[in-house]
Structure 1
Amino acid sequence: MAQGNIGGLAGGMGRFTELRQRLLFVLGALIVYRIGCYVPVPGVNPDAMIAMMQAQGGGIVDMFNMFSGGALHRFSIFALNVMPYISASIVIQLGVHIFPALKALQKEGESGRRKITQYSRLGAVLLAVVQGGSIATALQNQVAPGGMPVVYAPGLGFVITAIVALTAGTIFLMWVGEQVTERGIGNGVSLIIFSGIVAGLPGAVLHTFELFRDGSISAISMILIALVVAAFTLLVVFVERGQRRITVNYARRQGGRNAYMNQTSFLPLKLNMAGVIPPIFASSILAFPATLSMWSGQAAGATWLQRVANALAPGEPLHMIVFAAMIIGFAFFYTALVFNSQETAENLKKSGALIPGIRPGRATADYVDGVLTRLTAAGSLYLVAVCLLPEIMRTQLGTSFYFGGTSLLIVVVVVMDFIAQVQAHLMSHQYESLLKKANLKGSSRGGLSRG
């Protein structure tokens, strides 16, 4: 018994030691990332860059700056963050469901998935080069308030230097994310974005309290902000965990020629199968005119672009309507790409499974497609509510709400995934220790019986 207790204690200590090492690895990687967010690209005046960004805020730049933890406003080597990698991964993922060659490659197993991952990395490098070159070229002619030039020595040398620095920063963050996924806990890329979003939270909270102390925000607004944050968090957790389980019966031969035993299982369908992809796509497209208008400045022929950007600015009625419509459209589009009802019905038919009351084949596909359509409709309306209500609070009620809908979704989903992986890690080690104890007891009983 003493040996069993010692073995269990040692197993528990080993379990927590490994978990602690993984958590420390994640913490160290995130510290390195945060330090890199303060290393500026050579040739850029950081003070002038921050002043210009604060004066010309708006558009997709503010969203990407939040994701990068302020690195874009400082134009550090991590200014692009892992956004090129995410964009390339989304494009490749969509391509897998559109192009037969990529779909066949995915079905090859581990080797096919490695090739697809390699394509995502190459696409991320190309996007980083294009985005870095575009931003560096646009910054050369920018002047901060007060007449300070943003770039010390504009020219081809600065553009090449900025492209190399920004691309290298993106590649390094991709590598860090993969190392965190392999040696740490959770998805490394998601944790990098999560840390960038959360990094600005303390400053936003202090700014909100300063506004309250100055009288700019009333006590009722403060209470309303706290209630909305809590309600939105609970809503996101509830919906992201929500599933519609379709009952599936399997007929399995138990013995003899005509003896069968039915097994019941479920086909789980998430309420929000599209995740955060629809808000990201919609935000990027809507913010594109504002971004072009910001970089074009007072250039000739840019007046119409500025009018379009003003009409699509956050808080405007046209922005609300278009944003909601694009979220709903992208939700249906992305769900249709990632889930094939016909293929699911064929797989159920091949495995001898059927949905009670529904004939196999085409009828099953139509039934699943109908359920999925209703779920997607509800999930898209949930995304619209989560994304638009914080915007309405900022623009119409004058409240200071740091989290946007997309960032709130990312933060809550990443935390849920992180906690689930920690629990799975602990449970796997617990099962291992139980198996070791069972083997130990079995061998000791065998020894006594032989004696």
Structure 2
Amino acid sequence: MLSTVVSAARTPELRRKALWTLGLLAVFRLGTTLPSPGVDFGAVRTCVELNSGGESGGIYQLINLFSGGSMLHLSVFAVGIMPFITASIITQLLTVVIPRFEDLRQEGQSGQAKVAQYTRYLAMALALLQASTLVALAARGQLLRGCPEAIFTDSSLFAAITAVLVMTAGAALVMWFGELITERGVGNGMSLLILAGIAAQIPDQGMSILDSQGGLVFTGVCLAMATIVVGVVFIEQGQRRIPVQYAKRVVGRKMYGGSSTYLPLKVNQAGVIPVIFASSLLYIPTLLAQFAQGSSGAVQEFIQKYLVDPNHPVHIAGYFTLIVFFSYFYVAITVNPQERAEEMKKFGGFLPGYRPGKPTADHLSYVLNRITLPGSLYLGAVVVLPNLILGRGASGSAASLAFGGTSALIMVSVALDTVKQLEGQVLNRNYEGFLR
């Protein structure tokens, strides 16, 4: 990995791309610190500090982690990149449900451009909805508990609309940053924005654990984090290689085919999408707890204890089950064994011992189901094990989220994908120089 980074730094074009990426990431981090219009930044910081040591933030703490710490601070980029990620997931699901999206996907580059435009429109609608919800909860004092002061200096409707529009525009700007990094930078723009947001919170949250839990607990957390990183790298690089043989074909005076290759199927074929899906569903009990504040105390206590508390066994078991379910669900809608079998049959490829067509598709489906099980169990274990090991001391607080399994999974996965893209660009430059 270090050799790839050194080679990229020595190449002028890749060096310019890296500097362009770092500049956009710096602007993104600057936007996370700028408060929205009408927000009392001092009062917001007081509320965040009061809620950082407990569970009162609930699932908001996890979404705040994805936004780089800007959501709970009600900054210009408070909405962050989550609307675009949600819109991308929805358009992928619609590809299976709506034939029009499937036709666009098969049209090539022009069809992909139309799908990307639809994704942007949907992301803006979701950003407007999320910004409105965020401002409404903050104005009612339900975003964070125990705030001693009013978060908004102006409680008028015009001030609320202004804050919503600014946050929505900030979400559009963040989405543009991600696309610029993908097109003109090192690539993988949206994921790098999430990585930058999580990494920026590690120093402060590490100091919080050190001050509140002591040096021994902090050392244990760092060792556990290092172990999780090693495990994530090992599993993310694991794949099942299915041998593929191509028959010889004579076209004119030339012979094609006759080669042997393999079809790689990753152990974790779904990536971090199941974790995001499960986290989004776990957001619903928090909303129920907000709406249940005016109902009977038994209902509110049940929701708060069994569904919202991240350390309760019911919450952990539900989180783990949702991750396993969405792993199978996402793999089923993104990897089509029948389509893979037809592509191999079209180009004269076959699996040794299996006839082309349906037998090949059945074998691919069988292998995919078998390797998805350990991949889903791995995802669930990485996410929920820190809650089980750390217990109520730190896992329920925001101070431990940057040192949790979800953060390690996202950061390592994004780093590996970025390094692979850099390797491809370095090899491309080397081949071009050789051909010249």
TM value normalised by structure 1: 0.86
Q: CA deviation at 1:158?
A: 2.2
- CA distance in structure 2 between the partners assigned to 1:13 and 1:163 by the alignment: 41
2:198 is equivalent to residue 208 of structure 1 = no
Check the 8 A contact 1:388/1:405 in 2, yes or no. Answer: yes
Q: CA deviation at 1:49?
A: 2.3
How does 1:2-151 map onto structure 2 within 5 Å?
A: 16-56=11-51, 57-142=56-141, 145=146, 147-151=148-152
Check the 8 A contact 2:8/2:14 in 1, yes or no. Answer: no
Percent identity over the alignment is 39
- Identify the match of residue 363 of structure 1 among 349, 359, 365: 359
Unpaired stretches in structure 1, ≥5 consecutive residues: 1-11, 437-451
How does 1:167-206 map onto structure 2 within 5 Å?
A: 167-206=168-207
- CA distance in structure 1 between the partners assigned to 2:360 and 2:271 by the alignment: 25
Aligned position for 1:308: 303
Q: CA deviation at 1:226?
A: 2.7
Q: CA deviation at 1:19?
A: 2.0
Give the secondary-structure state (helix, strand or coil) at the position aligned to 1:151: coil
Q: CA deviation at 1:346?
A: 2.1
Q: CA deviation at 1:306?
A: 4.3
Aligned position for 1:446: none
Letter in 1 for 2:125: L
- CA distance in structure 2 between the partners assigned to 1:205 and 1:178 by the alignment: 31
- CA distance in structure 1 between the partners assigned to 2:104 and 2:374 by the alignment: 33
Q: CA deviation at 1:54?
A: 4.3
Give the secondary-structure state (helix, strand or coil) at the position aligned to 1:267: strand
Give the secondary-structure state (helix, strand or coil) at the position aligned to 1:314: coil
Provide Cα deviations, 1:301-355, integer angstroms capped at 9, x if missing partner: 5752442232022111111211111111111111000011122222222222211
Letter in 2 for 1:426: V
Once the two structures are overlaid, the 10-residue window that deviates more, 339-348 or 166-175, is 339-348
Once the two structures are overlaid, the 10-residue window that deviates more, 149-158 or 119-128, is 149-158
Letter in 2 for 1:192: L
- CA distance in structure 1 between the partners assigned to 2:160 and 2:296 by the alignment: 25
Check the 8 A contact 2:292/2:300 in 1, yes or no. Answer: no
Q: CA deviation at 1:222?
A: 3.9
Q: CA deviation at 1:98?
A: 2.2
Q: CA deviation at 1:396?
A: 5.5
- Identify the match of residue 286 of structure 1 among 277, 282, 286: 282
Give the secondary-structure state (helix, strand or coil) at the position aligned to 2:259: strand
Unpaired stretches in structure 2, ≥5 consecutive residues: 1-6
Distance 1:252 1:287, change over 3 A: same
TM value normalised by structure 2: 0.89
Give the secondary-structure state (helix, strand or coil) at the position aligned to 1:79: coil
Distance 1:396 1:74, change over 3 A: closer
- CA distance in structure 2 between the partners assigned to 1:396 and 1:148 by the alignment: 28
- CA distance in structure 1 between the partners assigned to 2:14 and 2:251 by the alignment: 46
Give the secondary-structure state (helix, strand or coil) at the position aligned to 2:269: coil
Aligned position for 1:7: none
2:391 is equivalent to residue 390 of structure 1 = no
Q: CA deviation at 1:146?
A: 6.4
What value does the CA root-mean-square deviation take over the aligned residues?
2.5
2:239 is equivalent to residue 246 of structure 1 = no
Aligned position for 2:416: 416
Q: What is the count of residue pairs matched by the alignment?
A: 418
Once the two structures are overlaid, the 10-residue window that deviates more, 39-48 or 268-277, is 39-48
2:157 is equivalent to residue 161 of structure 1 = no
Greater relative contact order: 1 or 2 (C-alpha under 8 angstroms, separation 6 or more)?
2
Letter in 2 for 1:190: S
